[in-house]
Amino acid sequence: MLAPTSPQVSSPVPFGVWADDTGEAHIEIYRCGERLCGRVVWLREPQDATTGRPRLDRRNPDPDKRAQPLQNLVVLQDLRYNPDAERWEDGQIYDFGSGHTYSCYVSLRTQDRLEVKGYIGFSLIGRSHYWSRVR
């Protein structure tokens, strides 16, 4: 079992599709083993304006990965549930816009609002983003 049901939230895990707060992408959160992961399932601009081909992960620090499409790219990995904090943590989030990977946690604030916090080092120092459930 990934997580107990919280009294504030009727769903124990944030499975489903979420719109990021920029409106640029939709991320599907799903089970990967005993943890949670997330992949890009929709992009506002799925095609490269210059080539007309699917957008690629051109800012990836690994040159071998720069030719992979952004569509279906895994951007959330290895989130495990912490019942004391009532959140999924110790994962990583990849920002394909910058090519940087950050530590992260996600916390279901309401059934339709998800806090996603990326940080380096300590979670107190970082930035929270609020994603909305796509229906």
Q: Which CATH number do you get for residue 29?
A: 2.40.128.520
**Domain-located, residue 97:** yes
Contacts of 13 (CB under 8 A, 6+ apart): 2, 3, 29, 31, 36, 81, 88, 108
**Domain-located, residue 4:** no
pLDDT in tens, the chain (135 residues): 454 443 343 335 899 999 999 999 999 999 999 899 999 999 999 999 999 999 999 999 999 999 999 999 999 999 999 999 999 999 999 999 999 999 999 999 999 999 999 999 877 788 999 999 998
The total number of structural domains that make up the chain: 1
**Domain-located, residue 8:** no
* Host domain of residue 59: 16-133
Cα–Cα distance for residue pair 55/126, rounded to 1 Å: 28
pTM of the model: 0.87
**Domain-located, residue 128:** yes
**Domain-located, residue 3:** no
**Domain-located, residue 82:** yes
Altogether, the residues listed in the chain come to a count of 135
